[in-house]
Structure 1
Amino acid sequence: MHVVVNAAQSVDGKLATHRREQLRISGPEDFDRVDRLRASVDAIMVGVGTVVADDPHLTLDEEDRRVERLRNGRPGNPARVVADSTGRTPTDARILDDAAETFLLISEATDEDRREALADAGADVIVAGEERVDLAAGLDALSDRGIDRLMVEGGGELIFSLFDAGLVDELSVYVGSMVIGGRDAPTLADGDGFVDEFSELELTGTEQLDDGIVLSYDVID
């Protein structure tokens, strides 16, 4: 599976305020870039924290792109994936509607009643890991279901965990012209952080969009 991480951050590396409120960091040109990237993948992945905080839909904005996918024998919208160790996804979340297939990666720590409730709400529930989602096992299960190209949109805990597991192939970051600040504000890669072995990147492109810049990287094995 090929994994592409995409995010928008401030100049000081923040994804949102310390209150974890959703911010508009980029603009129309970058929104279109992200929509094109979404249209190119088989699935879009977020962590459960993003679902609880923002209730995203994770579908394409442009109808022409949905039509083109259908013409190519693909679903109109990419599938949606949530990493949700304990089954916290609300059963009325927009991500569980019928606009696209939705996979929930949970752990064995999620009780059976909750699994059934999420399945009844429209999720394809995949158990991967004991106390927390085992991302490598979860991505293998998605690959078995036909997901070959995965886009990850956050949040920082999920992105760090994917880097930590060596599962990221590409990284695209839009850097917006603002400073957010706040020691507790979420960053691109939260989690425990690296100490002595760091993920190495190779810069492959830059593109100025709106009032910011997109930095594109390949992850070096």
Structure 2
Amino acid sequence: MHVHVNAATSVDGKLSSRRREQIKISGDNDFARVDEIRANSDAVLVGVGTVLADDPQLALDASKHVAAREARGESPHPARVVADSRARTPVDARILNDVAETYVLVSEAAPADRIDTLEAAGATVVVAGDERVSFPEAFESLEVEGVERLMVEGGGEVIFSLFSDELVDELTLYVGSMVIGGRDAPTLADGEGFTEQFPRLSLRDVERVDDGVLLTYDC
């Protein structure tokens, strides 16, 4: 599986403010770029924190991308994947609508009644890991379902875990010309943080997009 992490941060590395509110960091050209990455992916992954804070649908915006996928014999929109160790995804979340297939990754610690509720709402639940989602195990299950190219849109806890598990193949990072600040504001990679053996990336490209910079790394 090819795992492509895409994110937008402020110049001080923040994904949003300490209030965890959705902030527009990039512009229209970058939004179009992100939509194209989604269109070329089999599935798009976010953490449950993103679902609770932003209620994203993760569907394609441009009709041309929908038409291109259908012409290739694919579903109109890529599948949605939620990393949700305790099965906290609300049943009325937009990510569970019938626009596209949705997988919810949970751990063994997820309450059985919550798993049943999510399945009744139309989600395919993948159990992987004891207390937290085991991404290596979960990704093996997704590959069986035909997911070969996975786009990851956050948040910081998920991205840290993927780097920790050495699962990231590519990172595209848009750095917007703004400062958000705040010691409690989420960053690109939160979690416990690395104290040794820091992941090293290889910078492939630098490009000016809108009023910011797009950095592309091989991981």
TM-score category by the smaller chain?
A: over 0.9
TM-superposition CA deviations, 1:13-56 (whole Å, max 9, x none): 00000111110000000000000010011000000000000000
Q: Give runs of aligned pairs for residues 131-210 of structure 1, distance below 5 A.
A: 131-210=131-210
Residue 185 of structure 1, CA deviation: 0.5
Structure 1 runs (4+) deviating above 4 angstroms are: none
**One-letter identity of the residue aligned with 1:210:** D
In structure 1, list runs of 5 or more residues that go unmatched: none
Residue 137 of structure 1, CA deviation: 0.2
| Secondary structure of the structure 2 residue equivalent to 1:115 | helix
**One-letter identity of the residue aligned with 1:175:** V
**One-letter identity of the residue aligned with 1:68:** A
Residue 83 of structure 1, CA deviation: 0.4
Residue 60 of structure 1, CA deviation: 0.4
Equivalent pairs, count: 219
In structure 2, list runs of 5 or more residues that go unmatched: none
The answer to whether structure 1 residue 18 and structure 2 residue 13 are counterparts is no
Q: Give runs of aligned pairs for residues 50-65 of structure 1, distance below 5 A.
A: 50-65=50-65
Considering only aligned residues, what root-mean-square deviation do their CA atoms show, in Å?
0.5
Which position in structure 1 is the counterpart of 2:86? 86
CA distance in 2 between partners of 1:102 and 1:210 (Å): 32
How does the TM-score come out when normalised to structure 2? 0.99
| Secondary structure of the structure 1 residue equivalent to 2:103 | strand
Residue 98 of structure 1, CA deviation: 0.6
CA distance in 2 between partners of 1:184 and 1:89 (Å): 23
CA distance in 1 between partners of 2:109 and 2:70 (Å): 37
Residue 64 of structure 1, CA deviation: 1.0
TM-superposition CA deviations, 1:117-175 (whole Å, max 9, x none): 00011100010011110110001100010000000000000000000000000000000
TM-superposition CA deviations, 1:178-204 (whole Å, max 9, x none): 001101100000000111111110000
Which position in structure 2 is the counterpart of 1:77? 77
| Secondary structure of the structure 2 residue equivalent to 1:200 | coil
| Secondary structure of the structure 1 residue equivalent to 2:168 | coil
Which position in structure 1 is the counterpart of 2:37? 37
Which position in structure 1 is the counterpart of 2:100? 100
CA distance in 2 between partners of 1:107 and 1:15 (Å): 26
CA distance in 1 between partners of 2:76 and 2:129 (Å): 31
CA distance in 1 between partners of 2:195 and 2:8 (Å): 24
CA distance in 1 between partners of 2:112 and 2:7 (Å): 34
Which position in structure 2 is the counterpart of 1:66? 66
Which position in structure 2 is the counterpart of 1:9? 9
**One-letter identity of the residue aligned with 1:211:** D
CA distance in 2 between partners of 1:7 and 1:209 (Å): 14
CA distance in 1 between partners of 2:112 and 2:11 (Å): 44
| Secondary structure of the structure 1 residue equivalent to 2:201 | strand
